Amino acid sequence: MSNTKETHVFQTEVKQLLDLMIHSLYSNKEIFLRELISNASDAADKLRFEATTDDALYEGDSDLHVYIEANTDARTITIRDNGIGMNRDEVIANIGTIARSGTKEFFGQLSGDQEKDAHLIGQFGVGFYSSFLVADKVTVTTRRAGIEKEHGVRWESTGDGQYDIETVEKEARGTEIVLHLREEADEFLESFRLTSIIHKYADHIPFPIRMLGTVMPADPSEEASEEKPAEVETVNQASALWTRPKSELSDEEYNNFYKHIAHDYEDPLARLHQKLEGKYEYTLLLYLPKRAPFDLWQAESKHGVKLYVRRVFIMEANEDLLPRYLRFVRGVMDTNDLPLNVSREILQQSPAMTAMKKGASKRVLSLLEDMAKKSNDGEADEKSTDYADFWGQFGNCLKEGIIEDTANRDRIAKLLRFSSTQQDEQGVSLTDYVERMLENQDTIYYITAENLAAAKHSPHLEIFRKKGIEVLLLSDRIDEWLTTHLTEFDGKSLQSIAKGELDLSNIGENAEEDKKEHEEAVKSAEPAVQKLKEALGDKVKDVRTTDRLTESPACLVSDQFDMTGNMERILKQAGQDIPSVKPILEINPEHALVKRLANMDSEENIADFADILFDQAILAEGALPEDPAGFVRKLNALLTQ
């Protein structure tokens, strides 16, 4: 057996993270113990699951536990588990790198502001690296269950940008972590301090956490030297928290369990704990985080509802347990109605799992509906946080639900929130909109744009502002897909104000009088329409007058079933090779520039004028003309005439 020691350099992102950890961005250093115990518990869970099909992995020792010991002389803390352990490749993969997509973007968000950066690090999740909050050297010795003792691995680092790794003999499977404490971390050498942290963060771990305790003499007057020999004691309850009655659990216990499973440092936004009985029996303990994890939008990221069968951890696989649009939910689902050796393939085909997934989804939506109702009724407090907090973090995920979950589309639609011409912040529900609709209005109007500013200042809104008709302002990328799937609500159709013909003649005061004035202006603008058609040629699908403009001379619209300009830009930015859709140019027949164009004779001037109107309409959409320099040149020429 070769035990040559090798030195490796940390991945760049790990070096950055360690530097932040060492400089104590976390004010709450005690979380190192929570993170290491959580990892040890996960290792025991994995062994218990793998041993359901290979009992030999227990190696004659099925007493799964975590052992913690403080050595005041050596100034070390040891955390030892007899879980699944790691081989050499797993050590390098799990400790030497942060194998997560998006890490570069994450570190790009760090600002140097300790409070803000601490929040980001909390969202990122540091796990093992929190060891360096309290230790200036960390030694990990591990062996994977089922391999020979001579294939143990020792990993060591002082957090200075590199680590040593070597092959060693290790009799017992599992992992041992030795923390060599910094001088300012001596408080963690005191057993009562460690015990209090375990009670706070890890009482619910379903495996015993053992420590070497000291049994004091019965007579307090006896000298300390007469203390009885130390004994190993279990210092946590070691029971699955979700199996206990809600009446026995405190908010603190619930919150600490959440921090364990989510590796979060903040309390959750809301929780759901239910035991469901019927054809299938299962227990749900689900949480909504306060903040979106940094990798929420990474397709390959793992998100966190854990499946237990008879309290044995089986897998963490959100899409099998909840639909993808609810991937922000954290928690556990436990059932007796699946076999312990269930595979992912069996899971996907299981009627029990289908029923549980459906039931869990409905209960998460019920939780959100309750939050939304309390928020609307002004009842939000510390226990029922304003629904706006949730929407600001996870609203776009719910929009995915409109596309993915047709069975619950109506329920999800009521949970959506938007900005509108009456309210800048995303607090307008479709129910609110319908209640405010004007007399004779039977359509919910919206506009999609690249950003909120472009939506708010779109010329398409001019007639709606004049008539006092509310318009929803949609500026998230997903909104383009959302509106293709959400075509009606409460019997009212949804219509883009930038697509198709628009008829608002029956809405608002003086509708008949306005209609007559507009018809007269349309007749006088016919020469301008004809000149624009000839000048613009195949740049546009059509040119026509409109009553949707009151201040701007022109705007671009799409045919009713064509792709919008915003959708076309989104797809092209994503690298999609799609043919351009020709827009329709609509002109305001009452605008001075249109009237001037109608009276023009010079073909050269007409061509430049037409290009300027067309490019102005593109700019109003939040996009750039095909030839910005040409646009400026023609505009300058017009201004000097």
Contact, 504 vs 469, CB < 8 A?
yes
**pLDDT of amino acid 450:** 84
CA 509 to each of CA 15, 438, 463: distance values in angstroms, whole numbers, following the listed order = 66, 11, 13
Output the pLDDT for position 139: 96
Pick 614 or 261 by higher pLDDT: 614
Residue reference for tokens 């099998």? 320
pLDDT at 358: 93
Q: Residue 497 in contact with residue 464, Cβ under 8 Å?
A: yes
pLDDT of residue 9: 80
Q: Which of the four pLDDT bands, split at 50, 70 and 90, describes residue 325?
A: very high
Mean predicted confidence (pLDDT) in 207-236: 66
Distance CA 320, CA 305 (A): 9
As a whole number of angstroms, the distance between CA 578 and CA 499 comes to 19
More confident residue, 489 or 313: 489
Look at residues 31, 40, 49 and name the one whose alpha carbon lies nearest to residue 207. 40
How would you class 539 by CB atoms within 10 Å of its CB: exposed for 0-12, middle for 13-18, buried for 19 or more? middle
Residue 129 pLDDT level (bands cut at 50, 70, 90): confident
Dihedral sign for Cα atoms in the order 379, 380, 384, 390:
positive
**pLDDT reported for residue 638:** 78
Between 96 and 247, the more confident residue is 247
Mean pLDDT rounded to a whole number for the chain: 83
Q: Which residue has the higher pLDDT, 624 or 288?
A: 288
Q: Residue 225 has what DSSP assignment? A: G
Return d(Cα 330, Cα 608) in angstroms, integer.
59
93-119 mean pLDDT: 55
Residue 624 has pLDDT above 80, yes or no: yes
What are 93's two structure tokens? 């993969």
Say yes or no to pLDDT of 15 above 90. no
In this prediction, residue 263 carries a pLDDT of 77
The domains of the chain, with CATH numbers, are 6-238 (3.30.565.10), 243-376 (3.30.230.80), 414-496 (3.40.50.11260), 511-640 (1.20.120.790)
Rounded to whole angstroms, the Cα distance separating 234 from 239 reads: 12
Indicate if the pLDDT at residue 383 is higher than 80. no
User: Which pair of tokens denotes residue 477?
Assistant: 């990328």
Using CA atoms, how far apart are residues 328 and 85, in angstroms rounded to an integer?
A: 29
Residue with the bigger pLDDT between 384 and 58: it is 58
For position 318, what pLDDT does the model report?
63
329-338 average pLDDT score:
90
Q: Would you call 473 exposed, middle or buried from its count of C-beta atoms within 10 A (0-12, 13-18, 19+)?
A: buried
What average pLDDT score do residues 293-311 get? Answer: 74
- 590 contacts: CB under 8 Å, gap ≥ 6: 517, 518, 521, 550
Phi, psi of 276 (to 5 degrees): -110, 130
Closest CA to 383 of 253, 269, 256: 269
417 pLDDT tier (thresholds 50, 70, 90): very high
Confidence of residue 220 (pLDDT cuts 50, 70, 90): very low
Distance CA 507, CA 328 (A): 42
The predicted structure's pLDDT at residue 302: 62
**Contacts of the segment 53-58: beta carbons below 8 A, 24+ positions apart:** 53/341, 54/146, 56/146, 57/84, 57/145, 57/146, 57/173, 58/145
Q: Give yes or no for a contact between 131 and 138, defined as CB atoms under 8 angstroms apart.
A: yes
Q: Tell me the per-residue pLDDT of 17-56, one tens digit each, with 9 for 90 and over.
A: 676 666 544 567 887 898 889 889 889 988 988 898 899 9
What is the radius of gyration, based on Cα positions, of the chain? Answer: 32
- Pull the structure tokens for residue 449: 């744009």
What is the tens place of the pLDDT at every residue in 521-549? 788 889 899 999 999 998 999 999 988 88
Band (559; pLDDT cuts 50, 70, 90)? confident
Are β-strands 135-143 and 152-157 bridged in parallel, bridged antiparallel, or unpaired?
A: antiparallel
* Strand (E) or helix (H) holding 287: strand 282-288
User: pLDDT tier at 602 (50, 70, 90 boundaries)?
Assistant: confident
Residue with tokens 């495996």: 207
What interhelical angle do 251-262 and 191-201 show, nearest 10?
90
User: How many whole angstroms separate alpha carbon 627 and alpha carbon 629?
Assistant: 6
Largest Cα–Cα separation, the chain: 114
Residue 442 pLDDT greater than 60, yes or no: yes
pLDDT over 90 percentage in the chain: 39
One-letter identity of residue 132: F
| Average pLDDT over every residue of 252-267 | 86
What per-residue confidence (pLDDT) applies to 100? 46
Instruction: Say what the pTM is.
Output: 0.73
Higher pLDDT, 393 or 19: 393
**What average pLDDT does the segment 559-580 reach?**
73
Highest mean pLDDT among 334-343, 379-388, 616-625: 616-625
Which of 110-124, 368-382, 602-616 holds the top average pLDDT?
Answer: 602-616
Please report the pLDDT score of residue 110 as a whole number.
56
- Residue, of 251 and 348, whose pLDDT is higher: 251
What pLDDT does 101 receive? Answer: 41
Residues 186/76, Cβ–Cβ less than 8 Å: no
What angle in degrees, to the nearest 10, is found between the helix axes of 511-524 and 526-536?
60
Q: pLDDT category, 228, cuts 50, 70, 90?
A: low
CA distance 24 to 317: 33
pLDDT at 105 over 90: no
Q: Which residues pair with 439 in a beta bridge?
A: none
3-state secondary structure of 112: coil
- What is the per-residue pLDDT across 445-473, written as a single tens digit (0 to 9) for each? 999 988 888 889 899 999 999 889 999 99
pLDDT category of residue 162 using cuts at 50, 70 and 90: confident
pLDDT of residue 300: 61
End-to-end CA distance of the chain: 90
pLDDT of 343 strictly over 70: no
Q: Is the dihedral of CA 470, 475, 476, 481 positive or negative?
A: positive
pLDDT tens string 356-366: 999 999 999 99
Q: Is the dihedral of CA 384, 387, 393, 396 positive or negative?
A: positive
Q: Per mean pLDDT, which range of 122-136, 190-204, 355-369 is the poorest?
A: 122-136
